[in-house]
């Protein structure tokens, strides 16, 4: 390894993570496969260099390595962040999300904002292209799924199917799954079923106030219908809309009163 070439010079092109480790270090053997897998998945965003402290004692001393594993993030020739210990995949991803200098991240934030403001015709293909290049972009997955869920629930579920409970944005992914399950549920002609059918029709037309009211009516009629379908869907809907949405402000308290 040429540290100057592989780390310092390379970090002017792309951020470089250096994993300081040693063969005798048990936590290093835990961290290693996890961070290597992330590096493989996110090779468009950053590079990984493994540095054996037994073979490179001068570099270890130069960068103040007192315990291993130690991971340092290099950008434009400088260390801009670091962590020690065998973090979990989720913890590493959160650390990366916080510290990676990434122009693409700013682009993604802007595109998601445009998508949420209704500019889907030009924005959606761009987000999909980014996701095709880097499937680990969970925020892009969730944004596309949120856009699709009311009209294409099956496609929305596919977008978030591998987002687990411990992953970033898992709550939003679960809300998307719940909304999609509601839209795909066959409803009978019972009073609760009729209210839910009306809620489904209103939602597909983006009539959120009517959707909320029909869900409230369904909860009031039979809260336990279809394993609490109206309650679970109502909670997911209000979280999907957000607490500042006018419908959330006007109907969430009514929904809560109907529950209790």
Helices and strands per DSSP (H, E), number in the chain: 13, 4
| Structure-token match 């924005």, residue found | 123
Q: By the 8 A CB rule, do 17 and 72 touch? A: yes
The dihedral through the CA atoms of 28, 32, 33, 38 has a sign that is: positive
Distance CA 159, CA 156 (A): 5
Catalytic residue among 7, 16, 25, 199: 25
Half-sphere exposure of 96 (CA within 13 A, CB side): 24
**DSSP tag of 167:** S
Query: d(Cα 248, Cα 260) in Å, to the nearest integer?
Result: 18
Question: Of 7, 16, 17, 28, which residue is the catalytic one?
Answer: 28
Rounded to 10 degrees, what is the CA torsion of 104, 108, 109, 113? 150
Under 8 Å between Cβ of 14 and 39: no
Please give the structure tokens belonging to residue 39: 């590096």
CA distance 26 to 21: 10
To the query of whether residue 121 is one of the catalytic residues in this protein, the response is: no
Q: How far apart are CA 9 and CA 196, in angstroms?
A: 60
Active site residue 186: no
What positions carry a catalytic annotation?
25, 28
């Amino acid at each position: 390894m040429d540290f100057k070439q592989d780390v310092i010079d390379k970090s002017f092109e792309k951020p470089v993570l250096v994993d300081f480790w040693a063969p005798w270090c048990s936590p290093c053997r835990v961290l290693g496969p996890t961070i290597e897998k992330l590096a493989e998945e996110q090779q468009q965003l950053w590079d990984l260099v493994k540095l054996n402290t037994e073979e490179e004692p001068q570099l270890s001393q130069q960068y103040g390595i007192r315990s291993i594993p130690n991971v340092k993030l290099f950008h434009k020739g400088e260390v801009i962040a670091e962590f020690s210990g065998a973090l979990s995949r989720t913890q590493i991803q959160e650390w990366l999300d916080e510290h990676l200098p990434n122009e693409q991240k700013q682009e993604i934030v802007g595109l998601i904002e445009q998508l949420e403001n209704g500019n889907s015709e030009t924005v959606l293909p761009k987000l999909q292209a980014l996701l095709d290049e880097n499937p680990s972009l969970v925020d892009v997955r969730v944004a596309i799924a949120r856009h699709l869920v009311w009209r294409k629930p099956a496609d929305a579920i596919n977008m978030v199917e591998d987002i687990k409970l411990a992953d970033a944005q898992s709550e939003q992914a679960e809300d998307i799954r719940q909304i999609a399950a509601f839209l795909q549920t066959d409803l009978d002609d019972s009073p609760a079923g009729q209210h839910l059918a009306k809620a489904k029709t209103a939602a597909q037309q983006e009539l959120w106030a009517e959707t909320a009211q029909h869900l409230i009516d369904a909860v009031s009629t039979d809260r336990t219908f279809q394993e609490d379908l109206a309650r679970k869907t109502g909670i997911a809907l209000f979280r999907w809309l957000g607490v500042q949405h006018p419908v959330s402000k006007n109907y969430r308290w009514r929904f809560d009163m109907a529950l209790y």
